[in-house]
Amino acid sequence: MESTRKHLIELLTKQEGHISGQQLSEQLNISRTAVWKHMNELKKDGYEIEAVQRKGYKIHGFPDKISENTLQWGLETRWMGHQLYHYDQVESTQEIVHQMAKQGKPHGTVVVADEQVGGKGRMARSWDSPKGKGIWMSFLLKPDLPPVEAPQLTLLAATVIAKMIDERSDLEPQIKWPNDVLIHHKKVSGILTEMQAEQDTIQYIVLGIGMNVNQEEEDIPSDIRYKASSFKIESGLDWNIQKTIQHFLTLFESSYDQFIRDGFQSVKEDWEKYGYKIGENVTISTMKETWEATLLGIEPDGALRARRKTGEEEKLYSAEIHWGEGGYLA
Ligand code: BTX
């Protein structure tokens, strides 16, 4: 959001009574006409602002509606979401962030949409993203890491989502390797990490997060209802989407900074706290074979560690895991 508008909301919020156009114009160092124009923009975003002649302006209500303004107001991050864009409807927030990366937008740029009509999952799968019901968001990251370490960011994002759900509710989120967040065995969130790299350097990463927040049972497509759910269905409560996004961005920023500073170890510990079916038996399919295994955890580099019936331990970077009873196959 434009910093003037952010400052304007701050001034209106701090003021007990009315604040005059003159005072605002002086404090913001803009003309009174500019103050008036900003007020109109805020009203369009759903802020309830009263204007009384000779007294000035007073704020009565904050919008429910998500917008760049409402998302940035109260967002206390150092870099995450300082450039933040909101759209009512898009094909996919991933594509928008890819374009932004090419235009040279900075690390931490965030794009949020109310609805996606071409939401993408991994391997050309689709991601259902109904209007106003969830968080459909992608962001641009420019980490100074070798490309082989990029998948660790997917695990990091999953950990942050699980932590956020844990902090905001009584739910017990779990992470299904590598990238699904589950509640009561059902998928409530998915992550799509796309990378542009050149030999040994990551040019940029577009990290896409889908969170099913306020869908009711009937909002979930019937063919995936058996394996997909939402925070609302599982908690019985309506979630504030704006606050949930802000909470996520704040947690993500601090976990990301810690990861860049200290390496994957901190992520690994958190991940294992939420790891789904760790210690349990599953069936694993790789390109070569299908075998019975016990999931052991993740490796210091984020690979999945599993033990064969024969006792041999394996490190997996990509595999289909058949989760058996109570679980499902992506
Ligand atoms: P995935 O390939 O792990 O999961 C996709 C599969 O999950 C689908 O084939 C379907 O079975 C199921 N599915 C589809 N929609 C949903 C849903 N809303 N909830 C639960 N299960 C579903 C996961 O891919 C990665 C998803 C990333 C989505 C974000 S949203 C913002 C960004 N923009 C975009 O286009 N994608 C990302």
Is 125 a pocket residue for ligand 1 (Cβ < 6 Å)?
A: yes
Is 230 a pocket residue for ligand 1 (Cβ < 6 Å)?
A: no
Range of the domain at 307: 281-322
Ligand 1 atom nearest to 116, measured from its CA: 35
Is 178 a pocket residue for ligand 1 (Cβ < 6 Å)?
A: no
Distance, C-alpha 101 to centroid of its chain: 18
Is 84 a pocket residue for ligand 1 (Cβ < 6 Å)?
A: no
Domain membership flag for residue 224? yes
The strand pair at 290-298 and 320-322 is best described as unpaired
Is 119 a pocket residue for ligand 1 (Cβ < 6 Å)?
A: yes
Measured in angstroms, how far is the CA atom of residue 210 from the centroid of ligand 1? Answer: 7
328 pLDDT band, cuts 50/70/90, is very low
Residues 242 and 108 in one domain: yes
Mean pLDDT of 259-273: 92
- Contacts by 98-106, CB closer than 8 A, 24 or more apart: 98/194, 98/196, 98/206, 100/140, 101/140, 101/196, 101/203, 101/204, 101/206, 105/140, 106/79, 106/82, 106/140, 106/142
Higher pLDDT, residue 302 or 63? 302
Residues 111 and 158 in one domain: yes
Ligand 1 atom nearest to 209, measured from its CA: 29
Q: Which of 26, 43, 61 is the last residue of a domain?
A: 61
Please give, one letter per residue, the 3-state secondary structure of 163-202: HHHHHHCCCCCEEECCCEEEECCEEEEEEEEEEEEECCEE
CATH of the domain at 257: 3.30.930.10
Ligand 1 atom nearest to 118, measured from its CA: 35
Measured in angstroms, how far is the CA atom of residue 109 from the centroid of ligand 1? Answer: 21
Is 328 a pocket residue for ligand 1 (Cβ < 6 Å)?
A: no
Residues 73 and 163 in one domain: yes
CATH of the domain at 8: 1.10.10.10
Domain membership flag for residue 144? yes
Residues 46 and 80 in one domain: no
Is 94 a pocket residue for ligand 1 (Cβ < 6 Å)?
A: yes
pLDDT at 78: 96
Domain membership flag for residue 223? yes
Residues 55 and 147 in one domain: no
Domain membership flag for residue 213? yes
pLDDT at 330: 41
Is 173 a pocket residue for ligand 1 (Cβ < 6 Å)?
A: no
- Give the Cβ contact number of residue 101 at 10 Å: 21
Do 255 and 214 touch, CB atoms closer than 8 A?
Answer: no
> Judging by beta carbons within 10 Å of its beta carbon (0-12, 13-18, 19+), is residue 195 exposed, middle or buried?
middle
- What average pLDDT does the structure give for the chain? 92
Domain membership flag for residue 17? yes
Domain membership flag for residue 330? no
Look up the pTM and report it: 0.86
pLDDT tens, 131-147?
999 999 999 999 999 99
Non-local CB neighbours of 314 within 8 Å, separated by 6+ positions = 293, 305, 306, 307, 308
pLDDT at 87: 96
**Sign of dihedral through CA atoms 239, 171, 250, 198?**
negative
Residues 311 and 204 in one domain: no
Detail the residues annotated as belonging to a binding site for biotin: 116, 187
| Total domain count, the chain | 3
Ligand 1 site-directed mutation target among 117, 127, 191, most atoms within 8 Å of CB: 127
Residues 226 and 241 in one domain: yes
Domain membership flag for residue 328? no
Q: Which of 234, 258, 274 is the last residue of a domain?
A: 274
**Sign of dihedral through CA atoms 223, 226, 228, 233?**
positive
Residues 52 and 191 in one domain: no
Residue nearest ligand 1's atom 21 by CA: 228
Distance, C-alpha 66 to centroid of its chain: 15
Measured in angstroms, how far is the CA atom of residue 89 from the centroid of ligand 1? Answer: 17
Secondary structure E strands in the chain: 48-52, 56-61, 84-90, 110-116, 134-141, 174-176, 180-183, 186-198, 201-212, 281-285, 290-298, 304-308, 313-316, 320-322
Detail the residues annotated as belonging to a binding site: 116, 187
Residues 127 and 206 in one domain: yes
Do 175 and 75 touch, CB atoms closer than 8 A?
Answer: no
Domain membership flag for residue 329? no
pLDDT tens, 222-256?
999 999 999 999 999 999 999 999 999 999 999 99
324 pLDDT band, cuts 50/70/90, is low
Is 177 a pocket residue for ligand 1 (Cβ < 6 Å)?
A: no
pLDDT at 2: 64
Is 206 a pocket residue for ligand 1 (Cβ < 6 Å)?
A: no
- CA-to-CA separations, 279 to 80, 179, 260, 276, in angstroms, rounded: 35, 18, 29, 9
pLDDT at 291 over 50: yes
pLDDT at 1 over 70: no
Residues 264 and 216 in one domain: yes
The three-class DSSP label of residue 40 is helix
Residues 263 and 167 in one domain: yes
Residue nearest ligand 1's atom 36 by CA: 120
pLDDT tens, 47-87?
889 999 989 999 988 777 788 888 987 798 999 999 999 99
CATH of the domain at 310: 2.30.30.100
Residues 56 and 201 in one domain: no
Q: Which of 17, 38, 61 is the last residue of a domain?
A: 61
Ligand 1 atom nearest to 122, measured from its CA: 2
pLDDT at 323 over 80: no
Helix then strand count (H, E) for the chain reads 9, 14
Please give the order of strands across the beta sheet that includes 281-285.
313-316, 304-308, 290-298, 281-285, 320-322
320 pLDDT band, cuts 50/70/90, is confident
Measured in angstroms, how far is the CA atom of residue 136 from the centroid of ligand 1? Answer: 10
pLDDT at 188 over 50: yes
pLDDT at 189: 98
pLDDT at 327 over 70: no
